[in-house]
Structure 1
Amino acid sequence: MAKKHVKYYGVDAFTETAFKGNPAAVCFLEEDKDDEWLQSLAAEFNVSQTCYLTPIHGTSIPRFGLKWFTPIVEVNLCGHATLAASHILFSSDLVNNSVIEFVTLSGVLTVKKIPSIDVVGVPNLLNGKAPPVGFYIELDFPAYYPITKLYHDDISIIDEALNGASIIDMKRTEFADDLLVVLTSGKIVLEVQAQFDALAKLSGRGVSVTGIAPPESGFDFYSRFFSPKFGINEVSD
């Protein structure tokens, strides 16, 4: 029996320029594959996230199974790869609907296609410029992650891992076992020179570093995420 080809796309999220932003591989499967095969292909692509879409038939709203893999491990949730998958489905007319549902390890995620003319306040977000012709993608993700206690060893490591950046607060999320570190400003967030060897010693998956953005930026906050333990030094989710 001839082997079936896997259709895939390479997508750069959060950018309008090729080879910038955060890359993701989006693979379309006709049937489920075993996790070893999925992981091997993700390692072959060797980008921060490879996601796999498998159609689920017989539903009124288009549904797909969605799984995410870094080069070394499967993860429960990934924002930029979900955005990339949604972009391909909408822009390639692979779905005839403005709503898609993804069945994932984090539950059912809903994605909406919104024409740019319907987006309120976009000129302000784009520094006064008119929104480009096309569409926007709205992701409905879990918003609440219970906070749990910090590990003493993590507290002692984080200062070294963030190269002495000024920390206001630090929490640990129960769901993904990530550290959330609040710095004194968004400017400091951009300037952080993370020590990846030290970050890899932390107990959880990774570290999200955030701070209030400058008023003139048009954003509420800046955020960076580091997860060298999962094969991703930095990911722009």
Structure 2
Amino acid sequence: MAKKLVKYCVVDAFTDTAFKGNPAAVCLLEEEKDDKWLQSVAAEFNISETCYLIPLNEPTNTNPRFGLRWFTPVDEVDLCGHATLAAAHYLFSYGLVKTDAIEFSTRSGILTAKKVPEPKASNSQDDWPAGY
């Protein structure tokens, strides 16, 4: 049986500059994998968090829903904020979802990520809020 490739990327959260911020590996799975495999991949990446997304087909939801799990190089964790943001960024940035909101089903419950518009760039001090 041929092995299926896993789509992944490393996202630097909390920055718009490569190799800054807080990195998280994001892996998009087509099917469930066993815990030992998930942990081995996280150990191979050897960064603070590796997260795994798997699409969930739940017809009652208006927003796409994904299963989401987080692993450090040595253990699974119940919640990771920066890897959740990295997962949402990956799905939004690569056009893998067509909505402005995503739901993640996790060990900590349902988490929702919403895409917000980019702020308008301004070079004028007249556009700054009072007090700056």
TM-score of the two chains, using structure 1 as the length reference: 0.49
**1:34 and 2:34 equivalent?**
yes
- The ranges of structure 1 where at least 4 consecutive aligned residues each deviate by more than 2 angstroms after the TM superposition are none
Larger RCO of the pair (alpha carbons < 8 Å, separation 6+): 2
For residues 1-57 of structure 1, give each alpha carbon's deviation from its aligned partner in whole angstroms, at most 9, with x where no partner exists: 110001101111111211111110000001111111100000000000000000001
Which protein has the larger Cα radius of gyration, Structure 1 or Structure 2? Answer: 1
- For residue 112 of structure 2, what is the aligned residue in structure 1? 110
Q: Secondary structure at the match of 1:39?
A: helix
Cα distance in 2, alignment partners of residues 100 and 47 from structure 1: 25
Distance 1:114-1:129 versus aligned 2 partners, 3 A rule: farther
In structure 2, what residue type is equivalent to 1:53?
L
In structure 2, what residue type is equivalent to 1:115?
P
Cα distance in 1, alignment partners of residues 119 and 83 from structure 2: 25
- For residue 88 of structure 1, what is the aligned residue in structure 2? 90
Cα distance in 1, alignment partners of residues 126 and 87 from structure 2: 27
How far apart are residue 116 of structure 1 and its match? 2.7
Distance 1:2-1:116 versus aligned 2 partners, 3 A rule: same
1:13-92 counterparts in 2 under 5 A? 13-59=13-59, 60-92=62-94
Cα distance in 1, alignment partners of residues 20 and 117 from structure 2: 24
In structure 1, what residue type is equivalent to 2:15?
T
User: Identity of aligned pairs, percent?
Assistant: 66
- For residue 232 of structure 1, what is the aligned residue in structure 2? none
How far apart are residue 58 of structure 1 and its match? 3.4
Number of residues paired by the alignment?
Answer: 124
Q: Which runs of 5+ in 2 are unaligned?
A: none
Q: Which runs of 5+ in 1 are unaligned?
A: 131-217, 219-237
C-alpha RMSD of matched pairs (Å): 2.2
How far apart are residue 117 of structure 1 and its match? 4.8
Q: Secondary structure at the match of 1:90?
A: helix
TM-score of the two chains, using structure 2 as the length reference: 0.87
1:167-182 counterparts in 2 under 5 A? none
For residues 171-228 of structure 1, give each alpha carbon's deviation from its aligned partner in whole angstroms, at most 9, with x where no partner exists: xxxxxxxxxxxxxxxxxxxxxxxxxxxxxxxxxxxxxxxxxxxxxxx9xxxxxxxxxx
Cα distance in 1, alignment partners of residues 126 and 110 from structure 2: 35
In structure 2, what residue type is equivalent to 1:12?
D
How far apart are residue 66 of structure 1 and its match? 0.1
Distance 1:4-1:114 versus aligned 2 partners, 3 A rule: same
For residues 42-101 of structure 1, give each alpha carbon's deviation from its aligned partner in whole angstroms, at most 9, with x where no partner exists: 000000000000000133310000000000000000000000010011111100001100
In structure 1, what residue type is equivalent to 2:79?
L
In structure 2, what residue type is equivalent to 1:28?
L
